[in-house]
Amino acid sequence: MSLVVVGLSHHSSSVELREKLAFPAASIPAALRSFRERLDGAGVVILNTCNRVEVYANYAPASAEEIADEIRAFLCDSRGVPEAEFRDALYVHSGRNAAGHLFRVMSSIDSLVVGEAQILGQAHDAYLLSQSEQAADKVIHALFQKAFAVAKNIRSRTSIGEGKVSVVSVAVDLAVSVFQELAGKTVMVIGSGEMGGLALKHLMEHGAGRVLVVNRNEEKAQALAEPYGGEPIAFEALPKHLHRADIVISTTASPHAVLHPPEFRQALKERAQQPMLVIDIAVPRDVEPEVGGLDNVYLYNMDDLEQVVAENLSGRRKELDRCMALVEQGVEQFTSWTQALAAEPTLVSMTKELDLIREEELRKTLAALPDLTEKEQAEIAYLTKRILRKILSRSMAEIKHEIGHHDPHTVLHLVKRIFGLKEFTCERDHEIHETHEKL
């Protein structure tokens, strides 16, 4: 096995560089085929997200260094970017380190937002695409299956994914905590900022009812309101409509506050003092801080929201030691499997060599006992198979155990010397088991 990952992420490169090396989704199938042409029979997965571009490859005939060089050349050719532009930003991991890296990535330990769940789905899609292009060999398949298991284990046994870690998700949680039920609630968005639109989207997905969009630009207001069947409102008319809003999301680019206490006092009067949640995402702030002192107004600005995010992230980071222990456990298990895989040709050789000896000795014995019936000859043959099966089962178990705890090459070299083995070609992965079935 020569497992290698070469890539760059938010840890090692700028977004501009990641954009240059990023693979458009539609181009990845062809890219997988292209890489397979470079290294015939290699297993490969391309993991491409907004925060990372990584190529995982396994190719037994080549060394880790040779595979890494091929991946660098592949990135140059497929993305049309000179290697000098990205070489210093690339990281290279091989063997157990490559496995550990993927396990950390898929467990979101390596993510920009520790504990986020999106990366698991992205990695799953990348793996399935590799499978559909017949680019996932036995090692790649086992690697990603183990990575999924490790990520699931970490999610279930730690609190790494608990707590909202984005301003938008915290804002939605606040709305739910204030109103319990969002059905029938009216959301007013002031401005057309990206986060305001995203918060609106999530609030509507949580069951919020009517949408009001206030903007100085009528076209922008219409564009944001239309997908939700909302109502655009002219900016000058904002005070007249404020009382209609249960949830206000303000995200303008105004250099000064656009909402003040008198406007909220009037709105509360018209609402019969029904509570209002006001989420001020603008910097500078859109809502005067004194509004938060009014009864039945729950005002949160960016500092408030980011403080909750920071507290949640801090709680997640405290879980990192537990997560890393589970990652290391998964790495050990995967490494033991790969080491056992490396032993397969030797175990095939041992099985065939000993079976040849059994057949030769059986032939001599039966030739010396010509008076035996066919049934008696079959009984003796079955006896020799049972004896050899037990010898092989115990021997293979011990060999695999030794390989898992010592240098595999040293162990296998000793086995070959003891049994005088000549390597047989292992044409099928289950050849050992098939030979066993004959015994």
d(CA 200, CA 184): 14
Which residues touch 393 (CB under 8 Å, ≥6 apart)? none
Q: What are the Cα distances from residue 77, in Å, to 44, 62, 141, 290?
A: 16, 20, 26, 59
Cα separation of 175 and 178, whole Å?
Answer: 5
Instruction: For residues 57 and 41, give the distance between their C-alpha atoms in angstroms, rounded to a whole number.
Output: 10
Active-site residue, 426 included: no
As a whole number of angstroms, the distance between CA 90 and CA 289 comes to 46
Shortest CA distance to 21 belongs to which of 54, 64, 58? 54
Sign of the alpha-carbon torsion through 188, 307, 207, 296:
negative
**Tokens read off for 238:** 């904002």
Torsion angle of the four alpha carbons 310, 311, 313, 315, in this order, in degrees rounded to the nearest 10: 160
- Tokens for 367, please give them: 């030739």
Preceding omega of 227 cis (within 30 degrees of 0):
no
Question: 7 in helix, strand or coil?
Answer: strand
Helix axes 374-405 and 431-438, enclosed angle (nearest 10): 150
Quick count: other Cβ atoms within 10 Å of Cβ 94?
19
Contact predicate 341/95, CB 8 Å: no
Cα–Cα distance between 254 and 287 in angstroms, integer?
11
278 SS3 class: strand
State how far the Cα of 179 lies from the Cα of 277, in Å rounded to an integer: 9
Q: Which of 196, 198, 180 is nearest to 188 (CA)?
A: 196
Whether 188 and 259 have beta carbons less than 8 Å apart is answered as: no
Catalytic residue among 50, 76, 323, 426: 50
Q: How many CB atoms lie within 10 A of CB 260?
A: 13
Position 390: which residue type? K
User: For residue 26, with 0-12 CB atoms within 10 Å meaning exposed, 13-18 middle and 19 or more buried, which class applies?
Assistant: exposed
What is the spatial distance between Cα 389 and Cα 392, in angstroms, rounded to a whole number? 5
Catalytic site residues?
Answer: 50
